[in-house]
Structure 1
Amino acid sequence: TGVSKGAMLSHKNVVSNVLQASGAYSPTLDDGAEFVVTALPLYHIFALTVNCLLFLHKGSKNLLITNPRDIPAFVGELRKYPFTVLTG
């Protein structure tokens, strides 16, 4: 959608964002009990911060769907696991 843009993210910025998200979602998440499905690429900041780092911080299991565009395979994987969180 145009010229590539980028933003410098420091370690402190990312950690702060994970802690903010943890504070916001803690009332609805059980530490160590969640099973999250990640169907977004981890190079995207949302997937990296929420699906990877936040749920790692919360002690959750994570299922990485490497090709979510293959809907039959995606649904097949979803049937195998009792997931509790599906972000998008």
Structure 2
Amino acid sequence: MPNCAAKGDSCVRWMVSGEPSAGAFHGARGAVLSQIRRSVLDRGEALSVRELGAALGLRSLASVVYHLKNLERSGALVRDGRNWNTCRLTR
């Protein structure tokens, strides 16, 4: 798992040995990944769905879960358990 992410205007580019990779997530997906990464670095685990929604200003928990599921399908994160706060970043 890479150590850091460089934030652009609306995307998060994953860094591998100092060079940005070709893949970038824009908009809400990038914001979700950024919040998860920040949470893991600060407190050792990802935010809950409610905490993510509040941090991103999303009213609907379903919209947060929608973005999380899409990120899981794309391989950007993996859940270790049943809850989303057990997820870990793969890139």
TM-score (norm 1): 0.27
TM-score (norm 2): 0.27
Q: Which has the higher contact order (CA 8 A, sep 6+)?
A: 1
Bigger fraction of residues in strand: 2
Q: Radius of gyration: which is bigger? A: 1
